[in-house]
Each structure stands twice: as C-alpha cells, then as structure tokens.
Amino acid sequence: MKFTDGQWMHQPDITANYPAEAYDIEPTKDGLIVYAPTSAIKHRGDTLKGPLLTVTLSSPMEGVLRVRVEHYRGLNQKVPTIPLMTRGNAPVAIARDERCATITSGNLTARVKAKDGWDLSFESEGRVITRVSGWKGMGYMQRSDGSNYMHTSLSLGVGENVYGLGERFTSFVKNGQVVEIANKDGGTACEQAYKNIPFYLTNKGYGVLVNETGHVSFEVASENVSRVQFSIPGESIEYFVIAGPTPKDVLRRLTALTGRPALPPEWSFGLWLSTSFTTSYDEKTCNSFIDGMRDRDLPLSVFHFDCFWMREFDWCSFEWDPRVFPDPRGTLKRFHERGLKISVWINSYIAQRSPLFAEGAAKGYFIKRTDGSVWQTDQWQPGMAIVDFTNPEACKWFAGHMKRLLDMGVDAIKTDFGERIPTEGVVYHDGSDPAKMHNFYTILYNECVFNAIREVRGEGEAVLFARSAYASGQRFPIHWGGDCWSTFESMAESLRGGLSLSLSGFGFWSHDIGGFEGSSPASIYKRWTAFGLMSSHSRLHGSSTYRIPWAYDDEACDVLRFFTKLKCSLMPYLWATAQEAHTQGIPCMRAMLLEFPDDATCETLDRQYMLGGSLLVSPVFSEDGTVRYFLPKGRWTNLLTNEVREGGWYTEKHGFLSMPLYVRENTLLAVGANNTRPDYDYVAGTTFRVYQLAEGASASCQMHDSKGNPAARVTATRKGGKVSFAIEGTLKNATVEIVGGASAKLPDGAKSFEIKA
C-alpha cells in the first residue's frame, strides 16, 4: 500500500507517525526493547503525547532476528499465526554503549542507534545487509476513515534484486512490483497468486519473512525505488530477518523456522495421467487410456480421477457417481493390479445438494454468518458451504471421509481450491479473525488431508497435489501451478511461478503438462512434455480435452516415452535431490542464482533452472525449436549427446526429442537400471558416470533407500591419469564410467576401484 505521494508528500487521507529516535533501550535476557517516540523529545512535556512505538528485538533461532513493532498492545483478538518450528527464544549476545545497542544471533547483528535520529541496521559477514533508517523507514499510519496500518521499509542496495513472495507469475525479479499477499483463484496469466508467501530474499545474502497470516501489501522498489516496504492493517507488525550468506543458507534457515517438506513417496515422481476436468469418462474410458499407454510403451505411475468421479452438483460428497462407477472399490483394485497408484480430486466446499451438507450444517462444521446461519455461495457449486477447519470435530469428520477413500484404494488426494475464502460477515468456530484466516485457511485444509493420508498409509507415503498454500505450506507436498493456458507464454509464466515458489521455501512443484485451459497444438504439448518430465513431479492434465499423447500425433508419444524413461533412469539422482529438499529445505527445481549466487548473469535467468545441484535444464519455448540459454563458468556435458561445452551463451535449435540438458563439471551422476518406473532398487545395476572431473578433484554420490535412509555412497577422485572410486555400503551389479572415456563393471562388494581417466 502506498502511503506517500511521491518523495515529499503523503496521500491526502494519511497521518504518518515515524520514529524520531530510540529514546530508551532496555536490554533483556532475550533481546532488546526499544522505545521510539514519533516526535523528538526535547523536554519533559514532549513525553505527554504519543504515539510511542515499542520495538522488540529477539531471536527465534541462530542467524534469525525477530523484529516486532507495536503501537497498542492491549488488543484482544483471536488470530491464526504462521506455524513456527521453534519455541521460545534462542541465545543472543547483547552489547550497549552510549552510541548504540546491538543484538547478535549467529552471524546476524541488529544495531540500534541510541541518539541523533532513528536507525536500525542489520549486519552479517562484516557488512550492512539492510536497514530501517531515517524518515519514513518505519511507521504507524492513520487514515481518515479510522483504519490504521503498520509498515516497515527495508533498504535495497545498488544492484540488489528481490525474489520470492510465493508462486508469482509476474517478472521473476520483483523490483518495481506491488505485491498483494492475498490468495486468489486468478490463473497464471495475472498478478494474482494461489500461493502467496510473505517472504522475499535478495541477492545480497538475506531474506525477510513477515510473520502475518492476513493481507500483507509489499511495495517492492515501487513506492520508494531503494526500499522494500511491507504493511498490514492494525496496531503491530512482526517480521524476521534471516541471514545467509548464500541463498541456500537463507532457505535452510527459513524452512528450519517454518517447516521442511515431507518426503513424498518414490512412486509420486513418475508420470501422472489425469482424466482432465470437464471431460466425460467411466471405467471403460479410463482403461482405454491406460491400455493406450501400455500398448505404446509409455510408463505410467499414477492415474488421477478429476472432479466428475463424483456426480455433478454434489461436489463434494466423496461418493463415486454410481452411474459411471458402480463398483468403485473393484475399479481401484483392478487399477492397482495394473501397477498404478490412484489419485482423486477433492475440495473443501460442500454443495447444498451433497448428502453431506445437511449433516455438516446441523453439526456446525461449516463457516457461519454472524447470525449463526451457514455461509453459502453459488460460485463454483450451487449453495455450497465451506468446511471450518478451526473446528476439531469438523476436521475429524472431513478426515474420516478421506480415510474412507483411502480404505477403498485411493493413494493420493488432489486438494484443489482453498483460495476464495470469505473475509467479511463470517464467524469461525474458534473465533479467529476472518481477515487473517483468508490466507491461512489452506494450511488447515491441506494439513487435515495430509495427516489423514499419513495416518492410513504411514510415514513417507502421504502425498497431496495441492493448488493453494501459504507460509509453512511446504510441509505438505506436492504443489502444482494452477490454471495455465496452452501457450508457450503460459508455459514460461508457469516456470517463473515455480521458480519464485522454490525461492519461498517449497521443495516440490509441478504444473499441467500441455497447459490447462484450451487445447494446445502438438508442438506446445511436446515441448511442455519435455519440461514437465524434467520437473520434480509430472502430470498430464487439461480442462476440456484429454492430455493423452496420441490425441496430438505419433511423435508426441515418442517424446513422452523418451522423457518419461529418462526421468525414471535419473531417479537415483532425483531421489537424492528430494532428500535435500526434505532435510535441508533446498528445492528440487532451483533458480540458477541458487546454485550460482556469485554469477551476475544468473541473477535474472527465469527460462532455465537447475534440477538438483548438477543438471541444468533449459526448456524450449518456441515453435521452431530455437532456444537461447546460459552455461555458467566451467565445462558442461550434454546429458543426451556427451558434447562438452565451456560456459557462455548459446543459441541453437532442438528437435522434439531434445532440449538443452547439461551436467555440471565435477559431477558423479548415478543413473538407474530401470527406465519404466520411478520406484525400484537404486543400488542395483546402477551406472556411476563421471563428468569432467578435474585433476585432484573429488565428486560424491549419495544413494538412499525407499525411506530416504542412506544406503550407499560413492566418491570418485581423479589423480595422475586415473579415477579411483571409494564405496561405502553395498552395490550390486554396478558400472563406473568416465563419460567420453573408459568404463568397467564394479565388483560386487568392492570398497574401492580404479580405472583410467
């Protein structure tokens, strides 16, 4: 929100109250309390008026500082809060002299100037990374209509770029944008977002999380081009400054604070095929798709039933439409016998015609109006109500229906919607503020479903396909990109959204291959297929048409087969990448700046990415196959052709069975022996490929079992014209290969091995 009118003036309805000085600073055992009057105190009479802002500095964990700015403290308001994985305060070092006071947590220090104006700076690695200083840096804003706002403006340095803020489809670098943190169902072609996260990081080595579930308004180098301002309505604001120094360090700390992604099961990394949205289907139709995939040698892991597995107007009843699925338990059993996992679509809206509506209304399971009646709308489903997940009994009721589906044979649940949650004239069971529940609702919704799956299927088997999210929602993977169009432009905006989400703490992400709305030409479908299979998760899904490849042309089948099998063979590597997301919060799909923070060229790249730490992917976004991409400094090897290239810019044309896929130098890549499914024994028949290993350098490859536990580790070292291998754990029928050179079978049980470089 803009409070100013240019550099000098304010909006006509704004009264601004900015801190004039740190009048009093009180060290405590946990931090600092700073009392900041909004006018200079020249004599005792000046202390008889306000506002007086109270700024509390503390640390929830090492390398993170909490800043809370308050005007009135006496509000009694039930609000949801972002779940934090830490409790209490972390140890800090406090120092004070006549000039300033400091609080230090790990490698992050906040410094408050004690006199001569207002200045709060944050320092890390011996330098100031950002500051709240001077006039307009922080304030309590009063509007003529009686509403109040708190805001903070953090400085940006020369050349400093801002990233993140959730799954945003606008420009990848957020400088110059106004970002409203309010979940909306707007599609991928606008500034609205399904997954709003009040967090940003910059290329200067830090991140900022606003600890707020309600509407947050960001002015990102827009109202003031050298600051990021964030504001919320009310009497207080709290945020965390998170130290790096690298973007990975920031994400590690962010996800340690708000939660790391659960580890999805191995089978979820295979190809998902959907019935699509408004298409007509029954068991015979579904079988024709599955048979078609089998007959064309197209590996398929998950079959997804979208909305119309339930009867029209009944969404959600969680009952199979008996007209087309008279024997749902038998149907799912037959699909399981074909080696498939099953996913079904749901949302948290209960239509008036649903047989569950009367029960939910009678028992108080829905969001209510202020008069106690059920809040209803005709948008989406006629007369629908919305489940109130602040009611523990409603959660049990909803989870019970999920468990019933799981008992029938469902393996994964697509939790659609959760964005259009009312904010006015409604009441929650626990009294939560509706305005602050709007964004947070999706957390309760997805958590309820995720926990139900985990309770039935066990740890490591729970997986969603979720559209909406908020801060901490990364704990319940997987998330997909929402409603995109079937165009190259929408394919590119989807990638921008995914990369922004990955820089907001989310480890696993997918999108609708071929686009959701409309029917793409074969060229777009085939290019999107390559991109989709080189993503962490891969789903064929559309709106009004099936996304089966033979509906496009024969070559589409060849493309889908090639890239699906390639992904399956890369599963030992991708599974190790998934462990990084699960244990460290480092996403599977990584913006180039995450892996190469010191390469200025990588700071703006949004049409290519790293899949894990070693594989560069550059999707093709053109009709004729032309693609321009950048290889950072070093020697890169084409995964498909073994051609070696030096770092730099390249422009070239690719056929549909190709795209720029490059392996980073000094990489030991584990390639699996199975290219028909994602879940298999990764230490049996594995080929360990050595890519451009420099003299004296080493490269390691960690293998994991199906539960994510370390199973084996292989380290390759090049010295004196030879590459030696050290093996921890047991490998079976493995091969070692110097790409472009020698290869050899590795004796079973060997702990060391050596071949010519």
Q: Give the tens place of pLDDT for each residue, 649-696.
A: 999 999 999 999 999 999 999 999 999 999 999 999 999 999 999 999
Q: Per-residue pLDDT tens for 101-153? A: 999 999 999 999 998 889 999 999 999 999 998 778 999 999 999 999 999 99
What pLDDT does 78 receive? 82
Does 4-71+90-258 match 667-756 in CATH topology?
yes
Fold classified for 270-584: TIM Barrel (3.20.20)
Q: Name the pLDDT band for 697 (thresholds 50, 70, 90).
A: very high
Q: Name every residue whose Cβ is closer than 8 Å to that of residue 21 and which is 6 or more positions away in sequence.
A: 36, 37, 40, 41, 115, 116, 117, 118
What pLDDT does 50 receive? 86
Burial of 126 from C-beta contacts in 10 A (0-12 / 13-18 / 19+): exposed
Q: Name the pLDDT band for 208 (thresholds 50, 70, 90).
A: very high
The one catalytic residue in 21, 123, 160, 416 is 416
CA-nearest of 500, 436, 2 to 211 is 436
What pLDDT does 55 receive? 97
Q: Which of 253-257, 572-576, 648-652, 746-750 has the lowest mean pLDDT?
A: 746-750
Q: Is pLDDT above 90 for 643?
A: yes
Query: Mutual orientation of helices 328-337 and 392-408 as an angle, nearest 10°?
Result: 60
- Residue 359 CA to residue 549 CA, distance in Å, equals 43
340-360 mean pLDDT = 98
The dotted CATH code for 4-71+90-258 is 2.60.40.1760
- Residue 262 CA to residue 585 CA, distance in Å, equals 10
Q: What is the mean pLDDT of the chain?
A: 97
The one catalytic residue in 223, 314, 419, 595 is 419
722-731 mean pLDDT = 95
Q: Per-residue pLDDT tens for 29-64? A: 999 999 999 999 899 998 998 899 999 999 999 999
Q: Per-residue pLDDT tens for 507-519? A: 999 999 999 999 8
What pLDDT does 75 receive? 82
Share of the chain above pLDDT 90, in %: 96
Q: What is the DSSP string of 309-348?
A: GSPTT--S-----TTT-S-HHHHHHHHHHTT-EEEEEE-S
What pLDDT does 520 receive? 85
206-214 mean pLDDT = 98
| Domain 591-663 homologous superfamily, CATH | Golgi alpha-mannosidase II (2.60.40.1180)
The one catalytic residue in 223, 411, 461, 483 is 483
Residue ranges per structural domain of the chain: 4-71+90-258, 270-584, 591-663, 667-756
Active site residue 419: yes
Active site residue 416: yes
Active site residue 553: no
Structure letter (DSSP) for residue 657: T
What pLDDT does 76 receive? 74
Q: Per-residue pLDDT tens for 221-260? A: 999 999 999 999 999 999 999 999 999 999 999 999 999 9
Biggest alpha carbon–alpha carbon distance for the chain: 88
Check: CB of residue 98 under 8 Å from CB of residue 114. yes
What pLDDT does 77 receive? 75
What pLDDT does 115 receive? 82
Residue 380: how many CB atoms within 10 A of its CB?
13
Residue of higher predicted confidence among 41 and 493 = 493
Share of the chain above pLDDT 70, in %: 100
Structure letter (DSSP) for residue 551: G
- Residue 579 CA to residue 447 CA, distance in Å, equals 21
The dotted CATH code for 667-756 is 2.60.40.1180
What pLDDT does 279 receive? 96
